Structure 1
Amino acid sequence: MSDTVMIRRAAPADFALLGEIMFDAVHNAPSRYTPQQRQAWVPEPRRGEDWNTRLAGQVIFIAEQDGHAAGFMSLAPPEYVDFAYIRPGFQGSGLFRRLYAAIEEVALETGQTRLIVHASLMAQPAFSAMGFAITQRETVEVRGEQLDRFAMEKRLSS
């Protein structure tokens, strides 16, 4: 891989691709969740009307490296980081940091004073590296499986 990276705003035409990125990241990257937990979390690539409706109100950035869709991150206004997924072959490449910088810039431009996220066990270290603090460890039930995650918050200053 080279360093040819483009961060751009996602468009509705990208929404099915975002579902594929999410599925790939959950099922094919190293994980602290069991295969059963991952299957409950994302049983198939998300697509369709419900998925499109959920994404339509969000600010979404997609990372493309060497022409390949490598990851995405979204901000559900005003302050919730809803999705943050990097495909396995691109993890550890700095894409998370670049996507997060774009999200934080939007939050600051819109006058937000904090960002919050529910981070998976794998995403928590990356969010911590961006300055987020754990506010609570949580367990949520998804399709009969118990998944641990972290509620996290970052105070913003301009």
Structure 2
Amino acid sequence: MFRLAVDSDFEILREIYRLSIQKLAPSLYSHDQVIAWSAFPDNFAKFHDFIFQADTYLLKNQTQIIGFCGLQSDGHIASFYLHPDFTRQGYGTTLLTHVLEKGISQGFKRFYTEASFFSQPVFSRCGFEIVAMETVKYGDVSFDRYKMEKTIKN
């Protein structure tokens, strides 16, 4: 059900990323924001680094990859995307919980992320707290997002 991403997964992860934004973001983001955000996988080198400079865990069912979540060595959740056909079914919580458990087993005491408006509820369900809002740019387009963190108590 879970495994680490390998190079042969790259194209499907690009597709899941793009589909997730194109299908889910329009309810919360402007048309220009959706276009700018969903174009990121077109930069092959940067998107490859985005996926493979973290331990990117895949959630699979019997036939396909449902989503992915990247955990960096400092506790940063660098990516968290689900195929839009599998949202609101508990898969996001399942995937994020698995990644957090992996980090805890490696001794991580703190996790942090920058969550979009549509991923923030999943992070909150998994115990993350909003610590600030920030504005970032994709090209000329600005985005607001949540800076969130979770501390593991002994």
Same fold, TM exceeding 0.5? yes
1:61 aligns with 2:57: yes
Aligned length: 153
Map residues 46-85 of structure 1 onto 2, 5 A cutoff.
Answer: 46=42, 48-85=44-81
When the two chains are superposed, the root-mean-square deviation of aligned CA atoms in Å is: 1.7
The residue aligned with 2:17 is 22
The residue aligned with 1:137 is 133
- In the alignment, residue 27 of structure 1 is paired with which amino acid? Q
Provide the rounded CA distance (Å) in 2 between the counterparts of 1:156 and 1:26.
30
1:78–1:107 CA contact under 8 A, matched in 2: no
Q: Which structure shows the bigger proportion of residues in helix conformation?
A: 2
TM-score normalised by length of structure 1? 0.88
SS in 2 for 1:112: coil
1:146 CA drift (Å): 1.3
SS in 2 for 1:77: coil
SS in 1 for 2:101: helix
2:41–2:47 CA contact under 8 A, matched in 1: no
Q: Cα 1:44–1:150, aligned 2, differ >3 Å: closer, same or farther? A: closer
1:88 CA drift (Å): 1.2
Provide the rounded CA distance (Å) in 1 between the counterparts of 2:40 and 2:129.
31
| Deviations 1:42-98, CA, capped at 9 Å, x for gaps | 216446333323422311111122412211111021210011011111001111111
Provide the rounded CA distance (Å) in 2 between the counterparts of 1:132 and 1:106.
16
2:16–2:82 CA contact under 8 A, matched in 1: yes
Provide the rounded CA distance (Å) in 2 between the counterparts of 1:79 and 1:7.
19
TM-score normalised by length of structure 2? 0.90
Provide the rounded CA distance (Å) in 1 between the counterparts of 2:79 and 2:86.
16
2:50–2:78 CA contact under 8 A, matched in 1: no
Provide the rounded CA distance (Å) in 1 between the counterparts of 2:49 and 2:142.
26
Provide the rounded CA distance (Å) in 2 between the counterparts of 1:154 and 1:39.
31
- In the alignment, residue 89 of structure 1 is paired with which amino acid? D
Provide the rounded CA distance (Å) in 2 between the counterparts of 1:108 and 1:47.
32
| Deviations 1:101-141, CA, capped at 9 Å, x for gaps | 22112211221111000000111111011110000011112
Q: After the TM superposition, list the runs of 4 or more consecutive aligned residues in structure 1 that deviate by more than 4 angstroms.
A: none
Q: Which runs of 5+ in 1 are unaligned?
A: 1-5
